[in-house]
Amino acid sequence: MTVFLVPADKDIRGVAEVKQAARHVIDDGSELAAAPAERVRELSGVLRLVKAERAKGLHTSEDDVCVKYYTWKMDKAWSGKHTLRLYGALSSDEASILVQARTEHCGLIACLFRKKLADTPTCECGSGDETVLHVLLRCEWYAEARKALREAAGDRWGDASYLLGGWSGRKDARTGKFVDGPRESWKPDLKVVKASIRFLYQTGRLSRSSDMRTE
């Protein structure tokens, strides 16, 4: 992955917004929400997956770690304090599965198709592309195993952000309030996140870190 330092006076789209966001943090007296090592743990997990793929001789382009895949538009508070709580409460095996699920960087067919390692993105069940969302919520092959996860999620079933420890940024159409509550005080539901991790491991479609070391 390549990092570019961009002069603040360059007329480049996005620079002004970044500066404004930085000023906001300083102006309201805020501090960094989590230690740098914790804020990048998810990205580090992605880079480890890329390294493992390259060691196996699989083609991996720079686009594989592009932000659009890394963030997955699922967790709009990924760099906040909840990242520390989320990964700090997990074992390395659990964290490995969650990184794959939250970033869509994994061995699912749709991901392999994106990297030109599969001829089609379609799940073998035939009802849709084999994405994390498909496996987590819809694939009929895992209907029985999914029952425990549905029970743990309760009335939040179907909300992938909630199931994977993310703050969705969505608002209730009736009240206009965030469905997850204010970002500043929100915490991931670790019980539900761990239920999601158990389910995803049971499907056999995502690998634990210990599995990767023994391959």
**How confident is the model at residue 27, as a pLDDT?**
43
Burial class (CB in 10 A: 0-12, 13-18, 19+), 206: buried
Report the pLDDT averaged over residues 4-12: 51
Q: For residues 86 and 198, which has the higher predicted lDDT (pLDDT)?
A: 198
Nearest 5°: phi and psi at 122? -70, 135
CA–centroid distance for 148 within its chain: 21
**Cβ count near 131 (within 10 Å):** 21
pLDDT at 63 over 70: no
Least trusted range by pLDDT, from 57-66, 71-80, 107-116, 151-160: 57-66
Helices (H) and strands (E) in the chain, counts: 12, 0
